Each structure stands twice: as C-alpha cells, then as structure tokens.
Amino acid sequence: MPTNIPILLTWLRIILIPLLVALFYLPEAWMHPVGRDVTATVVFVVAAWTDWLDGYLARRWNETSAFGAFLDPVADKLMVAAALIILVYLDRVGALIAVIIIGREITISALREWMAQIGAHKSVAVSMIGKVKTAAQMSAIPLLLYHKPIAGIDIHLLGTWLIYVAAVLTLWSMGYYMRMAWPYLIEQDRKH
C-alpha cells in the first residue's frame, strides 16, 4: 500500500467519519447542540477540503496511484453518506433525498467498476454535470449541519434548496452515465 501525503489526507478523511457521527451521540451535558452543529460543520468542511487538497497534491507532485484512485472516491462517498444519514436522523433532509444521492453513488460506483473490467472506464469518466452535482452537495451539507441563521440568512433554507438541486443533478448525472454505458451493456448482453 503506497503511503504519501495525498493518501494520508484521504485516510484522514476516513478517520473523520466516525468523529462526525460520534458528535451526534454525545450527551448534551458534554456538548451543547449548537456547539455540536458548529463542530460537525467544521469536521465536514475539513474533510471536503482534504478531498480537494489530496487530489491537487497528488497531481502536482506526480504521486497518483491506483490505490489512491480507489481510496479517494470511497472516502468521499462514505463521508457524504454518513453526513446524509445524520441529516435524516436530525430531520434536516428527507429520507428520499438521501436515498437518491446514496443510491446513485452506489450505482455509479458499481457501473464504473464494471466498465473498468471490460476496458471501457473512460466512457464513464467524471463529467461536468457530476462536478456541479458534487459542488451543490458539498455546499448543502455543511449548511444543513450548521442549520442556524447567519446575519439574517436562513442557512437551513439555503442548504435545503442546494440539496434539492444536488438531488436533481444526481438523477441527471446518473442518467448521463447510464446513457454512456448503455452501448456496452447491450454489447455484453449480446455476448452472453
């Protein structure tokens, strides 16, 4: 297993997941809900920042690896899934939205794995719509974790709208990736 700073940053993101979840199981005597929400927001933002930083450093220092390419999206999907489950638990996100986003991540991960096995992984490479979806999602989640108004701005409402945008883009991008993979699915079906 390669060890370099980008991979260590990815491992940090994975380590932050149980911390994020544990914050919501602390008794109120240990941490007030407002402090918990602020801390959870900071943990998520740090994790999101490490996602950007590990990719940047891996490319800049030419330290990309197959292991890093595998671990990075796993860490991202685990962090987003954990945050969405917490937000459903707190009744800040509807279960349907969480199922759409998490379900899409599982589906597209499986599709990419299958496409890589048949040598067509470039057909389902990350698209611009996927990047916009991720930006909306990664902006919405910290807003929903924080949840409180800032300077008269309804942060929860803003986060809710962004997570709805992310859910729509999630479905759209899933359709896009499925359309790109469809010819390969038909071809493989004909072979069997």
192 residues of the chain, pLDDT tens digit each: 668 899 999 999 999 999 999 999 888 888 888 899 999 999 999 999 998 899 889 889 998 888 888 888 899 999 999 999 999 999 999 999 999 999 999 998 888 888 877 776 666 667 788 889 999 999 999 999 999 999 999 999 999 999 999 999 999 988 888 888 888 777 776 766
Q: How many helices (H) and strands (E) does the chain have?
A: 6, 0
Q: How much is the pTM?
A: 0.89
- Amino acid (one-letter) located at 175: G
Residues 42 and 49: their CA atoms lie apart, in Å, by 10
Phi-psi region of 152 (alpha: psi -120 to 50; beta: other; left: phi over 0): left
**What pLDDT shows up at residue 182?**
83
Query: Can you tell me the distance from the alpha carbon of 30 to that of 176, in angstroms, rounded to the nearest whole number?
Result: 46
Residue 123 is predicted with a pLDDT of: 63
**What's the pLDDT at 86?**
96
Q: What is the DSSP letter of 190?
A: H
Task: From residue 178, give the alpha-carbon distance in Å to each of 24, 61, 111, 183, 185.
Answer: 36, 34, 8, 9, 9
DSSP state of 61: T
Would you state the pLDDT for residue 37?
94
Euclidean distance between CA atoms 174 and 2, whole angstroms: 31
Tokens of 58: 């891996």
The pLDDT assigned to 129 comes to 85
Among 2.60.40.10, 3.30.230.10, 1.20.120.1760, 3.40.50.150, name the CATH number for the domain at 1-90: 1.20.120.1760
Residues of the chain with CATH 1.20.120.1760: 1-90
